[in-house]
A and B are shown apart, each in its own frame.
Chain A
Amino acid sequence: MGASKVASAIQSSQALETYAEAFSVFEKEAIGRELPWLRKLRQEGFDRFNAVGFPTTRDEDWRFTNLSAIAQTPFRMVRNPHTLPSARQIEPFRMVGAACTLVFIDGCFAPSLSSIGQLPRGVTVASLSAEIAKNPSAIEPHLGRYLSVQRDPFCALNTAFIEDGAYIHVAKSVVLEAPIYLLYVSTAHEFPVVSHPRNLIVAEENSQATIVEDYVSLGGKALCNTVTELVAADQSIVAHYMIEREDAQSFNVSTLRIQQGRAADVASHSVLVGAALVRNSVHPVLNGEGGECLINGLFVGSDRQHLDNYMLVEHASPHCASRQFYTGILAEHAHGVFHGRIIVHKDAQKTDAKQTNRNLLLSDTAQIDTKPQLEIYADDVKCTHGATIGQIEEDALFYLRSRGIDEASARRLLLTAFANECLDRMKEGPARTHVDSLIQNYVASVTGSAPIQASPAAVGEVK
């Protein structure tokens, strides 16, 4: 046992060295290397990662998630992919009804597969690398200003390799109705590929927008380590969707850092159905009075999938409300984690924070670890949390069967209904429709039956 520990430590340090080598090349070549502030940002990120390495299960925030598979794999970055997948390969993934689509191949923006189209005045959508090259002064005030590289080694690593991703800016009082769609595709190479997409979304005062991040794969072993900084200025309304549906060779670590201004209303929807290992971290800071935040998620796992959700909601101003609803469905040997931390700072009086995590385990070997954590420094607040873990109810199953519905369909109906609670919290529109069909398919796959065409709620809607 001692020997194997030593061996894994050596492997890990070798893996760290590959990141150090990659960084020494990257910092000399990367777009924006001449910008002192960006150089500093990357260096700080790298130094932090180099000092701490990958987290272990001894770290409280990573207690339930073993990262040795990531730490021991010598991933490499692909900065200039010379062969792109065809448009036809990408087609099945695309969302219908988007205002524009940005496609990233192994983390690099692929203009030939993207379509920015005609956007309303005041909406800027570009690749981050292009914006760094052309207009760095627009991003300097925001990039890396909200996310602390100290808190999470993956964020530090992502920051070290900031170069590409999406840049979205919605000007004051502009309303963009159709969603902005960001598609991240990992592709097969002769080596395991790591990408560090970095997205910056700035919704100025009184603006409205919906952004969808969708992670898919075309084979190959891949680690996608993504960070999105979302700035929702005063009175803005922003919906963000995170969809993870990569294949079983993939690892996906994502951090969504939300900075909310006064009376800003942000909804974060996460739908995690793919990848071998997922770490989905959502960290809103309610930094102005009257802000509202919905943190809504669904994770559906089977086989040996590991789906870890780490929520950190910070109430930093008075009169803000946050709602966390996470729903898990776990089959076979899948392992889910829900870590819901709420911090109410001293001045955040009249905070109203709620957290709910509901889980269904479909087998004896599926596992869920759920952990609420409240830290309250104000004295006039309302904070509630609750978690449930259950199985499909036999009574409900018998009831449906006694009406003629066969067992597999009855199971699927009950699971779909359970999953649809997450769907019901999304506004009607193309993003919800996109997510809806995905959910029906994955729920059907864990029950081993054909998907129903649309959600029961939608079908049952009668005016």
Chain B
Amino acid sequence: MSLLEIKNLHVRVDGNEILKGVNLNVDAGEVHSIMGPNGSGKSTLAQVLARRESYDVTQGEILFNGRDLLAMKAEEAACEGLFLAFQYPVEIPGVSNAYFLRSALNAVHKYRGQDEVDAMDFLPKLREKMKLLEMDAKFLNRSVNEAFSGGEKKRNEILQMAVLEPKLGILDETDSGLDIDALRIVASGVNAMRGPDRAFLVVTHYQRLLNYIVPDRVHVLVDGRIVKSGGPELALQLEDTGYATVGSAAGAA
């Protein structure tokens, strides 16, 4: 059984069909990358997996850890171990990062019937993870994402993922807007989490991130369908030839 099984997924957004039959299996321990041009449906796929309700699934099925993901609410999916690092993290004025992180972790613990984490136990672990992502301690008292730079927001997403320790981490264009230093920090945060029980789905437009987070499989999404899959070399090839050739090849096939 794969950790994630997507079967013939069709999704409409505001009446337009964006995903037109996506099939994808991701096993635990693997890193898969979804690459594709703008508008191909990459972010829609990420949002549907995170259970955004405004996206209308018209056909297909998604199994997460053998369970029907489409029957779950966003918070259930998160508690079951699915994490989406947002392309555009949301600012939440008035809620401190420390409080937010602990609330989220406790919500997950509660769902799994585990004990709540108190602040004394939580903080040392959090500090350790922040160090890995080269984040300043002041960050804990700041409101979630408020007045963060683009790089800080993306690092914050990875920090949340490190705290929640999901089974599946979905990175939605985490590389967009990152300079090379920030990209390295984010990638090392992700790599530190790689392991036999965890999988990642790295959604990106560019190949550069994949130099740092080396995927096991690369899938090319064009116009709502996966038109080609291969190993990490496929990403390099795309960098040279662009998406147009892959798309047209698929169209011709």
Contacts and interface: CB of A to CB of B under 8 A. Distances in A.
A403 B164 contact: yes
B29 to A, nearest CB: 23
Given A404-B164, A409-B107, A460 B73 contact: no
A191 B133 CA distance: 67
Contact of B90 (A396, A420, A421, A456): A396
Interface in B97-153: 97-100, 102-105, 107-108, 111, 119, 123, 137, 140-141, 143
Interface in A429-463: 456-457, 459-462
Interface string A403-427: 1111101100110111011000000
A404 B104 contact: yes
Given A396-B90, A418-B94, A459 B99 contact: yes
A462 B98 contact: yes
B90 A460 contact: no
B64 interface: no
A444 to B, nearest CB: 15
B52 A398 contact: yes
Count class of interface residues, chain B: 35 or more
A461 B140 CA distance: 8
A414 B91 CA distance: 11
B90 A401 contact: no
Contacts of A414: 92, 95
Contact of B98 (A399, A407, A460): A460
A398 B160 CA distance: 15
Given A460-B99, A460-B100, A402 B78 contact: yes
Interface string A131-159: 00000000000000000000000000000
Chain B interface, >50% SS class: helix
Contacts, number: 100
A190 interface: no
A405 B103 contact: yes
Contact of B92 (A400, A407, A459): A400
B96 A401 contact: no
A418 B164 CA distance: 26
Contacts of A418: 94
B200 interface: no
Given A399-B89, A462-B141, A407 B75 contact: yes
B90 A404 contact: no
B165 to A, nearest CB: 12
A85 B45 CA distance: 63
A395 interface: yes
B39 interface: no
B74 A401 contact: yes
Interface string B31-57: 000000000000000000011101000
6 contacts: A396-B92, A401-B73, A401-B74, A402-B75, A404-B75, A421-B94
Given A402-B83, A402-B86, 12 more contacts: A398-B74, A398-B90, A400-B104, A402-B77, A403-B107, A403-B164, A404-B79, A404-B164, A409-B103, A413-B95, A459-B99, A462-B98
